[in-house]
Structure formats: C-alpha cells, structure tokens
C-alpha cells in the first residue's frame, strides 16, 4: 500500500462547478500538507499549504485536513477552464523531511 493515495482521474466537470480533489494517507505523523498544481509539460507550483488540521481558504480554493481520518481535500469553487491541470498532494512529517507525493489527479474543466 502506498503512503499517499490519490485517484489519477481524469476528473471532468463543467465550468462553474465545485470541484473536490482528495488524498488519503497512512502515516499519522504527517503534519505538513500541500497541494501543487501542474500544467501540462510544466513544473508543479505550490497552490495551498496547511499545517496540521483545519481549513485554509485562498480565493476560490479551500484546503481541508482531517487528521483523524487521514484525509485531505482541495475544493475549487466556480471552476474555470484555466483550472484544468494535474493537482498533486504532498505531505511530510516535518518541514525538513522529504515530501511524500500522491500520483496526481488530472482535472478537466469543460467550457
């Protein structure tokens, strides 16, 4: 079993829909949780960063961490075609530890 599980998709939704992307993990020591966005043939860029449990909101994006369920989510409101990309979750026990990555979910927003 992988340490971090993420459905690779693709996930296809109409423009304007609310998107929910998720990762599950097995290591209860993870405390740092990140979401990266990767456009085709580009490097990933950090989208959201959360420490420990709780929610974090940034514009149309909300990141949630549920440590009791070992489950993290990224919500995108009012989705746009420009949100079409692969979304990778990543997590670590400590900021000095190596990140453990999910496989990435390919998201397609249809105009």
Partner 1 sequence: DGGITQSPKYLFRKEGQNVTLSCEQNLNHDAMYWYRQDPGQGLRLIYYSQIVNDFQKGDIAEGYSVSREKKESFPLTVTSAQKNPTAFYLCASSVPGGSGELFFGEGSRLTVL
Binding region for partner 1 (CB under 8 A) out of 14-22, 46-54, 59-67, 69-77: 46-54
- On the CB side of 51, CA atoms within 13 Å amount to 2
Q: Of these, 44, 64, 72, 74, which contacts partner 1 (CB under 8 A)?
A: 44
Q: Does 97 bind partner 1 (CB under 8 A)?
A: yes
Measured CA angle at 61 (ends 35, 9), to 5 deg? 55
Candidate ranges 10-18, 35-43, 52-60, 70-78; the one touching partner 1 (CB under 8 A): 35-43
Q: Of the two residues 8 and 81, which places its CB atom closer to partner 1 in the complex?
A: 8
Handedness of CA 90, 88, 61, 7 (dihedral sign): negative
Instruction: Give the Cβ contact number of residue 63 at 10 Å.
Output: 22
Stretch that binds partner 1, among 10-18, 60-68, 77-85, 94-102 (CB under 8 A): 94-102
Three-state SS for 54? strand
């Amino acid at each position: 079993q992988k340490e971090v599980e993420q459905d690779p998709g693709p996930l296809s939704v109409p423009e304007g829909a609310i998107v929910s992307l998720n990762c599950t993990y097995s290591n209860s020591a993870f405390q740092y949780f990140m979401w990266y966005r990767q456009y085709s043939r580009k490097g990933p860029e950090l989208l959201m960063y959360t420490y420990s449990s709780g929610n974090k909101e940034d514009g149309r994006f909300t990141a949630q961490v549920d440590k009791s369920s070992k489950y993290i989510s990224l919500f995108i409101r009012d989705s746009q075609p420009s949100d079409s990309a692969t979304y990778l979750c990543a997590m670590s026990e400590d900021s000095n530890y190596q990140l453990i990555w999910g496989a990435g979910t390919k998201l397609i927003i249809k105009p």
